[in-house]
Amino acid sequence: MTIDYKAKYLKYKKKYIDLKNLHGGTNKKKEIRTDIQSVLNNDPEKTDVYWYMKGVTNAEVRLLAEALKNNTHVDRINLSNNSKITDENMALLTEVVEKSNIIVNIGLHATSVSDAKKLLIYAELVKNTVKQLDDDNLEFVSWFMMEIDDAQIRQLLPGLTKSIMLEKLLLTFNSKITDAIIPELLKAVKSSYVYTVDLDDTGVTASNIDKMRNILQINKVLFDVKNNNPEMIQVDWKNKNVGNFDVLRLAKAMQNNTNLQTIDLYNNHEITDEIMPELIGAVQNSKVVSIWFNNITIEDDKKQEINNALAYNARQRIRDNDRALKSLNWANMNITDEQVIVLAEGIKNGRRIKNINLTSNKGITDASMPALLDAVQNSKVVYIHLYDTGVTKAKQEKMTAIVFSRQKNKR
């Protein structure tokens, strides 16, 4: 038997018009009518229905449910703070949610819907969310005040781990989410790009919320690097307790990045030589010019391989007069003469680089000074720092004379 949804809609539309005439047709009611028509027309720009505190009635909920039956775009509905909404049409709405696969959120708090009916709808919303997440179609999951429990969080984890798009999880006001699920949730979040997880007013203790917060700080950096955020020019992970897994994720996130310049990994003792090939490969295909490994046990040959890649990046960017690179900080990076000579090749042709810091690199000696002096002489560099290097006082004074004369001319 074929159901004529159009005829049913027109039947309920007549009831709605009668209701509207009875109550005078306020602006809110006009908005509700417009929304129902957009949903019925399957308007691709209409992806959410926001009826928060609009005096929505059961009749309007039924009209919406009927209109949703053939809709393929609406995925979120807010019916909260409408006390006239009762259980009357919840079975129909639950059926619509079950068949839609795409509706992932319905706000029902501060309505007159019973807890039992809410739970039936919430269960279907969880199923839809899991499916959409598995298909990587969601940027955020909002399970605010939905009586979510640990078992339902567990359903979410496989899709969360593999999702590229997901950014945020809103789990607030779900007291049945407890510390028991946190180890699994932490592990899944750490393998994702999710950078917001709101666990306020759940059953999760403050110490576990703090653990989550630390992971999210790292994830936000990875998310920005992956999405080539122009403001993300420095990864500051010093003293962050990051390890090889985090560095591997950073290397992968760097694949299409053109803005990142520096990475500070100071004092992260879980980072080892094992991850260096992936990081070296990522640096070679990036624009990164500085990385600090201080207080980490990395073999010197691996550090030098990284530094060589950084030197070639710096040379190319300076030679290309990259507007984003006016200063180069190589202080305390185990830089040697080999990298300084490569750098000098870029400086000689660069017109934007102004400040170069080579402080505290004992591997820099007089051997690289002829190339560097010649390059600086023919550049616009006004500050170059060679303190605590292996360069003799005489060579340092010669370099100082070159840049000092340029500083004077600038004044």
Does the structure show a pLDDT above 70 at 5?
Answer: no
Q: What is the rounded (10 degree) CA torsion for 119, 121, 123, 127?
A: -170
The pLDDT assigned to 406 comes to: 74
The pLDDT assigned to 11 comes to: 66
- pLDDT confidence of 197, banded at 50, 70, 90? very high
Average pLDDT over residues 327-334: 96
Does the structure show a pLDDT above 50 at 357?
Answer: yes
Q: Residue 6: exposed, middle, or buried by beta-carbon count in 10 A (0-12, 13-18, 19+)?
A: exposed
Query: How much is the pTM?
Result: 0.81
Q: What is the rounded (10 degree) CA torsion for 28, 145, 117, 177?
A: 170
- pLDDT confidence of 35, banded at 50, 70, 90? very high
Element (H or E) spanning 318, and its range?
helix 300-319
Element (H or E) spanning 68, and its range?
helix 58-68
Taking only the tens place, the pLDDT of each residue in 208-246 is 999 999 999 999 999 999 999 999 999 999 999 999 999
Taking only the tens place, the pLDDT of each residue in 273-325 is 999 999 999 999 999 999 999 999 899 999 999 999 999 999 999 999 999 99
For the chain, the C-alpha Rg in angstroms (whole number) is 30
Answer yes or no: are the C-beta atoms of 215 and 223 closer than 8 Å: no
Select the more confidently predicted residue: 23 or 114.
114
Average pLDDT over residues 342-366: 94
The pLDDT assigned to 385 comes to: 96
DSSP assignment letter at 249? H
C-alpha to C-alpha distance for 224 and 47, rounded to whole angstroms: 26
Does the structure show a pLDDT above 90 at 78?
Answer: yes
Instruction: Please provide the average confidence, as pLDDT, over all residues in the chain.
Output: 92
Among 24-28, 88-92, 122-126, 334-338, which stretch is predicted with the lowest mean pLDDT? 24-28
Q: Residue 151: exposed, middle, or buried by beta-carbon count in 10 A (0-12, 13-18, 19+)?
A: exposed
Does the structure show a pLDDT above 60 at 19?
Answer: no
The pLDDT assigned to 234 comes to: 97
Select the more confidently predicted residue: 355 or 26.
355
φ, ψ at 390 (rounded to 5°): -90, 10
Which of the four CATH numbers 3.30.465.10, 3.80.10.10, 3.40.190.80, 2.60.15.10 does domain 318-411 have? 3.80.10.10
The pLDDT assigned to 325 comes to: 93
Beta bridge partners of 77: 49, 106
Q: Mind giving me the DSSP string for 166-205?
A: --EEE--S-TT-BGGGHHHHHHHHHTS---EEE-TTSB--
How far apart, in Å, are the Cα atoms of 270 and each of 90, 239, 247?
53, 11, 10
Answer yes or no: are the C-beta atoms of 119 and 84 closer than 8 Å: no
